[in-house]
Amino acid sequence: MKQRRLLVLDNQRLRPALHSLSLNAAELEPGAWAPGQFLHVLCREPEAHSPFLRRAMPIHRLDAGRLDLLVRPDELGHAWLARRRAGDALDVLGPLGRGFDLPGTPGHLLLVARGLGIAPLVGLADQAVAHGWAVTLLATATRPADAYPAAQLSPAIEYQVCPTDAALWDCTPAALAWADMVAAAVPPAEWLPLRQRIEAARLTLVSGFAQVWADVPLACGVGRCGACAIETTRGWRHACSDGPVFDLTEVTGL
């Protein structure tokens, strides 16, 4: 684990309650990160004591020495982060965890996101497009004003916003039939419905076809506190160190 001080380059307000915070990541070596990994960010002034715990922030995208975080100021730590301005320094640990594994042979990639679950998927979409994949992104938003802005995505990405939670699953059957890989960032309670829909569309779920980003508390970032423990075919694993990306065939207890 490496502790870093990354300077804020820009704070762009994408929506009334959604910010894209850009950091100077020139010190990150090429290949030192993978989409799906996260940073553990200290969300307070160095001399302050609250909030005490760091916040786990998925790497939203990284390009040409610029690393973006997607911030929704819905609690104390994230609200502090959303107020940062160019020139401010952030105390971060990482990149941490295991990210998505994109196969070398291009095909059709289906991305499924619930709410802010879109944060770890956009970097994967960028990488896939750069390697010749056809990408479809399905995401939820209760109101158009809450949806992730299409202008932030490559025009090569097919982007569909589902207005309700149920609509997300209504949109998936046809896409699952042609997909060569699925990456989903939805709560663990929805992993079983995802698996059931894959099996209904394709008869079976094979290893490597679907990967899920574990939307669970990543409190310590090093697998010590146990808050992020997930039951898998290899026993209990910690999402912060063994994940947060897991193959859907290996998670159990669904």
Q: Which of 129, 228, 230, 136 is nearest to 176 (CA)?
A: 136
Name the nearest CA neighbour of 129 among 187, 61, 41.
Answer: 61
pTM of the model: 0.94
Residue 205 in contact with residue 249, Cβ under 8 Å? yes
Q: What is the pLDDT along the chain (254 residues), one digit of tens a residue?
A: 689 999 999 999 999 999 999 999 998 876 778 999 999 999 999 888 889 999 999 999 998 889 999 999 999 999 999 999 999 999 999 999 999 999 989 999 999 999 889 999 999 999 999 999 999 999 988 887 889 999 999 999 999 998 876 667 777 778 888 999 999 999 999 999 899 999 998 889 999 999 999 988 898 888 888 889 999 999 999 999 999 999 999 998 65
**Domains of the chain with bracketed CATH:** 3-96 (2.40.30.10), 108-247 (3.40.50.80)
Say how many C-beta atoms besides its own lie within 10 A of residue 253's C-beta.
10
Of the candidates 147, 149, 33, the one whose C-alpha atom is nearest the C-alpha of residue 92 is: 33
For helices 165-178 and 191-202, what crossing angle results, to 10°? 40
State residue 173 phi and psi, 5-degree precision: -55, -50
DSSP H or E run through 254:
none
